[in-house]
A and B are shown apart, each in its own frame.
Chain A
């Protein structure tokens, strides 16, 4: 026995890091730098989240208890507190902010330098620089996370191989999936950093354009003048036809020295890129929430039905069949009409409501796609083994079954999220679901569809192309994940090759 006393016991990660702190310290320092650069933004987001939660609580409390004298008083105090916290958070300088690299300004003379922009650069260049910075930051951060994983594998992991390694290896060779990943990251970046990457803010651009003024160089008089944003938007709106006076296309300046990467929208005008960036937020919020809800329900039901089978399975089949029998669009229309005055519909101008409805509609589909794999795992003898030594049912499902269906959830989740985004757009196109002023891509398509044949083609075309691109990217990502976790797809290719070779020889 004595010769076996020398074994190395499993050491906690903390001890392993303490034994060799250099790589970990280096990595953490890197993360700290990334966070520091954006600390103000992170704090602001945290405060906003808190405010949203507080708002939701207040709304629910109000809905439950009815209007009373106490709730508003407390709500008021909380709101004040949050507002001041937000002020503090906003005052912390961040690297990626509009203030650091401003792109809004005006020329001093017809071909003179620009005033108000970053280093006096033209607005287009300043804006481009800011976007570049944002994405450099985002991809840099993602790379750092990946680098951290590599460090962990190299220095701290005790197992010299895990099944995950194969998944990572296969994903690294999957170009189509990587294309999807890059586009998805671009999309998520657009949503996440919408206020920063937009040439102007949504508040100025759409919500209350008449409360802000801009200065511009009047061409004729050569003088700098002021105008309300609303008026400027109106005059620079894209209105079709063929007269360049009435159109501001992609990558053009309008008459007020403002740069529009995607051009302007139809009456009452406004910057299309800003609209798209904020719209991405809405789409992402709805997509993620809907997939989160339906994925959770699907996974739970998938595990329970596969473990218990019989009656449990049958009842879920019945319920899901009934849900799938209802046409989704019809149900969505119904929901948005019935709940139009409900407090639920006040969040995000109906966005939350739509997300909940999607979650409810899409879980049967997701459940059906994980049901097969779940039943397959439930047949494995290791599940029987767990039962034979008395493991609890929920622990068995979590430890011995869930890891095998998570991958499928990820695949079908990323395929479905495309569907959610496109359906949301379709709903807004029809004028239901998400109400103005909350931006939604589908509404941009709807607003621009009468100008497709004119010089203002960009209003409908750019959002349309973006929708297609994002949905394709999510599908590509799903394909990549599937090929990575399901090596059979590799075998499939090999088999086809073998068959081809056999046919040839």
Chain B
């Protein structure tokens, strides 16, 4: 080690130099998982093209439903997952391609705190051993030497090594009378063995995160969830990282404990100047602790911006829906809810256009349907969603065989789907005749009612043979004062979908396609007629506020109405 002489200049970056540039810059990042099988399944696009930056000392929140890729994104940032494409620049250096000793060196700067305190600590090791392990791995302390205040080249000789790290263990100050400073965490008698220094450091860390010294020899089993999480935090801080990914660090804890851990995290951030990526699904926690928030859906960042602004005045339709799903803390406030239908599509097969297109309540419609009835439009969307789902549903071998043999499969239940999704209605004259029949029943004129009904059903094209039974049923129900139900029964049985004629035509044609077993053509037909830019093109990240907030939605384009007013109309 005494060989390690090095020439050093005082050219270490000071905080002023780096203050301008973000600590972490994510650029077009994609993380895909290959399928489990070896046989070319579509990869899971967990993170599908993400750009953002994290400023020094800030806390960026990352929210989204489970499965949206937020955890994978966080794990990619600390190199627990390998990025498929794109860059993650840390202090200006792309870390997705690091390997070997450079990767190991970098790992000191970026750490992660895990979600589940039960699983994040090895139960067979004492707390002391757990917190000490990172120190052992990195041979801490390196007793590296930094030089300050030198105007000319300085030669450092002796054991240990010269460094350009920002916080060396020993600092030689050559201004005026030369002096040597030792870092605070190292007790003064540096002559002792490294092992003892490490143990002292572990005690220091335990104390920092609010544990007691006698916990050193205990095992994780003997601690509560909150305490275990503190141990995990101490381990993450052991190597003095600059950047910490907090992967839902409090979601597994009791509410009373959550606040304490959150306060601890905030204190630590202040004390050590940490930069956080805070992954969470609890929006109130995010609002409390984060400076900025990124909202993720299906591997994409939908909206990112200052926390308060984003919560107060969401711009992106997905953020809007997500926020409106939070139960309001103020029960008197009348807040309308947007309820999202269905589930997110599979990340193996995301939509070609906007990721939110399958569920978006304010999706852009083709011009000719701009004014269409909302309920009717919704019904058509649901039908499209159902067909999409079916495309994804794995068909079993027998089903495939039956399909090939032209036998009925479960996909032939399209009529049931149709009945489920749409309202039904008889032709106009038939409806009028039914009205008269109901009137007649009310007046006690069953014979007249019967005539009207037969007429109505004949106009609706019913089969003669079962008309009598249907008529009897109607009269019985209506006689019990259940005219509404009686009418619905008739509509369900003999009516057609209750849509404007132009829409009904396409829908019936598509239903016909499915009946014939050609679902692809049905999907295609529906897309051609009802599809819009949301289905076809990926949106861009539009800047939506002076603070630099961006939103990923076509509605921010000039030619479309922005999401806000559309929502207002919807509710």
Contact = CB atoms under 8 A, between A and B. Distances in A.
A390 B138 contact: yes
A384 B114 contact: yes
Interface string A368-390: 00000000000011101111111
A382 B120 contact: yes
A4 B217 contact: no
A160 B134 CA distance: 24
A39 to B, nearest CB: 38
Interface in B62-94: 75, 78-80
B213 interface: yes
A161 B218 contact: yes
A101 B103 CA distance: 69
Contacts of B138: 389-390
B137 A389 contact: yes
A89 to B, nearest CB: 41
Interface residues of B, number: 44
A10 B114 contact: no
Contacts of B196: 9
Contacts of B114: 381, 384-385
B503 to A, nearest CB: 49
Interface in A1-37: 4, 7-10
A314 B124 contact: no
Contacts of B294: none
B138 to A, nearest CB: 7
Contact of B116 (A381, A387, A395): A381
Interface stretch (A206-214, A267-275, A396-404, A465-473): A396-404
B531 to A, nearest CB: 40
A73 interface: no
Interface string B113-125: 0111001111111
B219 A388 contact: no
Interface in A107-164: 158-163
A391 interface: yes
B104 interface: yes
B219 A390 contact: no
A388 B80 contact: yes
**Chain A interface extent, by class:** 20 to 34
* Max chain B C-beta neighbours (<10 A), residue from A159, A385, A391, A404: A385
B487 to A, nearest CB: 50
B450 interface: no
Contacts of B555: none
Given A159-B219, A163-B221, A384-B80, A389 B122 contact: no
Interface in B16-47: 38
Given A9-B199, A385-B112, A385-B114, A163 B124 contact: yes
Contacts of B80: 384, 387-388
B219 A161 contact: yes
B78 A314 contact: no
Contact of B219 (A162, A380, A389, A392): A162
Contacts of B120: 380-382, 385
A382 B239 contact: no
Contacts of A395: 137
A400 B122 contact: yes
A159 B216 CA distance: 8
A380 B112 CA distance: 14
A390 B216 contact: no
A389 B107 contact: yes
A363 to B, nearest CB: 24
A400 B123 CA distance: 9
B222 interface: yes
Contacts of B38: 314
Interface string B194-209: 0010011001100100
B128 interface: yes
A395 B218 CA distance: 22
B124 A4 contact: no
B213 A4 contact: yes
Given A10-B128, A163-B221, A389 B203 contact: no
Contacts of B78: 388
Given A7-B203, A10-B216, A163-B221, A385 B107 contact: no
Contacts of B232: 385
A159 B218 CA distance: 6
A41 B416 CA distance: 87
Given A161-B222, A382-B119, A404 B137 contact: no
Contacts of B115: 381
A390 B217 contact: no
Contacts of A158: 217
18 contacts: A4-B203, A7-B203, A8-B213, A10-B216, A159-B217, A160-B218, A161-B221, A314-B38, A380-B120, A381-B114, A381-B115, A382-B120, A385-B112, A385-B114, A386-B133, A387-B80, A388-B112, A389-B134
Name the 7 nearest CB pairs between A and B, nearest first.
A389-B134, A159-B217, A381-B120, A390-B107, A390-B104, A381-B114, A381-B119
Given A10-B199, A382-B119, A384-B80, 8 more contacts: A10-B216, A162-B219, A163-B123, A380-B119, A382-B122, A388-B112, A389-B239, A400-B122
